[in-house]
Amino acid sequence: MKKSKLAVLVLTLFLLGTTAALAAAPTVTGPITIEIWHTRGAGANGDQIAAAVEEFNATNPYGITVVEVYQGGYVDTLAKTMQAIAAGTNPELVVLERAAGVPVLASQGVLADMMPFAERDGFDLNNFPEVLLGYSFYEGKLISLPYIRSTPLFFYNKALFREAGYETAPTTIEELKEAAKKITKVAPNGEVEVYGFEMLNDPAWFVQNMLYQLGSNMLSEDGMSVPALEDGTMLKVLSAWREWVDEGWCAAPVVTSAESVMKDLFNQGKIASYFASSGGMTNILRNAEAVGIEVGVAFLPTWDIPAAPTGGGNIAIIQRNKNDQQIAAAWEFVKFLMSDEQVASNAAKTGYLPVTYSSVQTDIIQKQWAERPEYKVAFDQLEIAQELPFSPYKSEFEEAMKRVCSQLIMDRSITPEEAVQILKDEASIIFW
């Protein structure tokens, strides 16, 4: 993942352009309490942010006290944050889904520009992989930083794959289909006892990646249209997914708590493989190993072009309804979270990516990768990672895709052709 000369030049220009604004980067002058709203629930993720907050509160020299508040998933956190901003009760910090949340708040002008603080403190933006910075800049401002970032991985039950004659994970969609069909077990009464594979209804991640692998995209470069609806790739991917479910080897996700149910069934030996975020690595491995399942971890199987999407959340400072001291205190916590020790600890204890090059060199990461190479797979996959174009309409279209895929895959009440037409109609309204 070599940083391109263009990226370095752009970042340099950003830094040079902020010199006159340095006076606008205040320093914390006294004790202050701030809040961060986040999406990190129970288990390893919740434990990690709680530990980070506890350490920062005990060690920062300014008397800053951070209060962390779990607000649910990305959609709920964004909605609650927007409501709080309107009511004047918003937190200083928020963790946002990078592609669906950051553009929404950035386009509303409520996020603080962290560039003056970065320039003042010598904060090295070139320390981040370029692919993770796609949602960090808006209109010449540094409005968010990579925090709990991930790539989705292929998790599989090694024993079930081995029984079917596969010692390694499939690398292509065709290999996945072949293996999953052999692994699937059906009882005499027609009930499926073991599914070879399941894919969740997260189309802006999984369907989008398949579109990209086929040479298309869910969003155009200007973020104002959906190329895949016009070039046939959306129809191909949705038709394939429906076919897999109809053939009986791919489980359809349940309507509620789909990811939890899927992982529970995997731990019961009833699903042999699935796609999921690397950010859940620790919980996935811990829970599966507790019941004697050996988990394999691999790159996503591909169609034509090897590719994987980046995902996860960025951290941002909300300037709306906040004074200089609150914003300055928020920056100090952001800077703390971006330190090598914190980035490395976050990655090692959860499975999220180590988001800076320098953190990768720490003993924490190097030791873990040597002992548990599964944790290195997501970082290696950044070599083929791609990111969606910046668009404030992505979240709205994503919700439309979820509704349509629910009808297509779970209800099976519409055809792939009807699904594409509904999405075209939705797109004509969303991207008008």
Residues 11 and 55 in one domain: yes
- Which value, to the nearest 10 degrees, does the dihedral of the CA atoms of residues 263, 269, 272, 273 take? 20
Residues 99 and 72 in one domain: yes
Same domain, 237 and 365: no
Residue 101 CA to residue 145 CA, distance in Å, equals: 13
Q: What pLDDT does residue 253 have?
A: 96
Q: What is the DSSP string of 180-241?
A: HHHH-EE-TTS-EEEBSEE--S-TTTHHHHHHHHTT--SS-TTSS--THHHHSHHHHHHHHH
- Identify which of 175, 211, 385, 195 has the alpha carbon closest to the alpha carbon of residue 272: 195
pLDDT at 137 over 50: yes
Eight-class DSSP state of 111: B
d(CA 106, CA 200) in angstroms, rounded, equals 29
Same domain, residue pair 165 and 278? yes
Asked whether the predicted pLDDT for residue 249 surpasses 80, the reply is yes
Count the domains in the chain: 2
pLDDT range class, residue 267, cuts 50, 70, 90: very high
Q: Where are the alpha helices (DSSP H) in 248-382?
A: 258-267, 281-290, 324-337, 340-350, 357-360, 363-371, 377-380
Q: What is the pLDDT of residue 360?
A: 97
Do 244 and 168 share a structural domain?
yes
Distance CA 249, CA 242 (A): 11
Instruction: Work out the pLDDT band at 24, boundaries 50, 70, 90.
Output: confident
**291: exposed, middle or buried (C-beta count within 10 Å: 0-12, 13-18, 19+)?**
exposed
Task: State percent of the chain over pLDDT 70.
Answer: 95
Which of 9-13, 268-272, 365-369, 389-393 has the weakest average pLDDT?
9-13
Please give the residue that has the higher pLDDT: either 118 or 395.
118
Query: 300 and 314 share a domain?
Result: no
Helix axes 233-247, 206-213, angle to 10 degrees: 120
- Residues whose CB is less than 8 angstroms from the CB of residue 273 and which lie 6 or more positions away in sequence, other chains included: 154, 155, 156, 157, 161, 176, 180, 196, 197, 198
- Is 274 strand, coil or helix? strand
Mean pLDDT over residues 22-39, rounded? 89
Radius of gyration for the alpha carbons in the chain, expressed in angstroms and rounded: 22
In the structure, what pLDDT confidence band is assigned to residue 18 with cuts at 50, 70 and 90? very low
Per the model's pLDDT, the better-predicted residue between 246 and 9 turns out to be 246
Same domain, yes or no, for 293 and 145? no
**338 and 208 within one domain:** no
What's the token pair of residue 193? 């006892």
CB atoms within 10 A of CB 111: 22
44 and 131 co-located in one domain: yes
Residue 256 confidence (pLDDT): 80
3-state secondary structure of 290: helix
Nearest to 303 by CA among 154, 174, 168: 174
Q: How many residues comprise the chain?
A: 432
Residues 6+ apart with CB under 8 A from 347: 353, 354, 355, 359, 365, 375
145 and 195 inside one domain: no
Are 200 and 155 contacting, i.e. CB atoms less than 8 angstroms apart?
Answer: no
User: Percent of the chain at pLDDT above 90?
Assistant: 89
Per-residue model confidence (pLDDT) at position 17: 44
Token digits of residue 357 = 């090059």
**DSSP three-state, residue 273:** strand
Would you state the pLDDT for residue 349?
93
> Is the per-residue pLDDT at 11 higher than 90?
no
**What confidence score (pLDDT) does residue 43 get?**
87
Query: What pTM did the predictor assign?
Result: 0.89
Q: What is the rounded average pLDDT of the residues 99-121?
A: 96
Residue 7 confidence (pLDDT): 44
Position 257 scores a pLDDT of 85
pLDDT tens digit string along 53-78? Answer: 999 999 999 999 999 999 999 999 99
Burial 6-41 (b: 16+ CB within 10 A, else e): ebeeebeebbeebeeeeeebbebeeebebbbbbbbe
Parent domain of 288: 152-309+393-430
Interval 222-248 mean pLDDT: 97
The rounded distance, in Å, linking the Cα atoms of 411 and 5 is 49
What pLDDT is recorded for position 67?
98
Q: For 313, phi and psi rounded to 5 degrees?
A: -120, 150
Indicate which CATH number applies to the domain containing 299: 3.40.190.10
400 plus 423 within the same structural domain:
yes
Are the C-beta atoms of residues 207 and 236 closer than 8 Å to each other?
no
CA distance 382 to 132: 9
Q: Which of 141-150, 211-220, 385-394, 419-428 has the lowest mean pLDDT?
A: 385-394
In a 3-state reduction of DSSP, which class is residue 312?
strand
Regarding whether 331 and 286 lie in a shared domain, the answer is no
Q: 29 vs 77, 326, 427, CA distance in Å?
A: 30, 10, 49
Confidence of residue 414 (pLDDT cuts 50, 70, 90): very high
Alpha helices in 1-134 (DSSP H): 5-16, 44-59, 74-87, 102-107, 115-120
